[in-house]
Amino acid sequence: MTDAWTFAAIVGLACVTVITRSFFFISSRRWPLPAWAERGLQYAPIAALAAVVIPEIVTVQGEFIDTWKDARVFGALAGLAVFAWQRSVLWTIIVGMAVYLPLRLALGW
């Protein structure tokens, strides 16, 4: 019974997703957004990224970190510094991981 409910839920969610996303393609005319919505959507990627990344950096199992020996903090700070300097997402990832991995793997932080 659980498998049938799971399958039905997946199919139902897929249908809702396809239908709601199709409205923009079905219409023959353009759907303009109000200026306030366009302005707000400019901040959506930054807000989503902050909502996902920052809790991952500063918490462990839902609790704030209580030690400075955390590789994630140093990797994030290094990545932030490189991004402020170069404005390159690729270099941010490379440098952040280059700091994070040795601290995590070699020191066990």
pLDDT digits (tens, 9 = 90+) for 56-69: 999 988 899 988 89
Q: The whole model's pTM is what?
A: 0.62
> Does any domain span residue 65?
no
| Cβ partners under 8 Å of residue 1, min gap 6 | none
Give the pLDDT of residue 1: 60
> Does any domain span residue 14?
yes
Give the pLDDT of residue 71: 93
> Does any domain span residue 40?
no
Mean pLDDT by 10 residues, the chain (109 residues): 87 94 79 88 88 91 89 95 94 96 93
Give the pLDDT of residue 92: 94
Residue 32: phi and psi, rounded to 5, are -75, 140
What range defines the domain where residue 10 resides?
1-31
Tell me what percent of the residues of the chain surpass a pLDDT of 70.
99
**Tally of structural domains, the chain:** 1
Per-residue HEC secondary structure of 24-54 comes to HHHCCCCCCCCHHHHHHHCCHHHHHHHHHHH
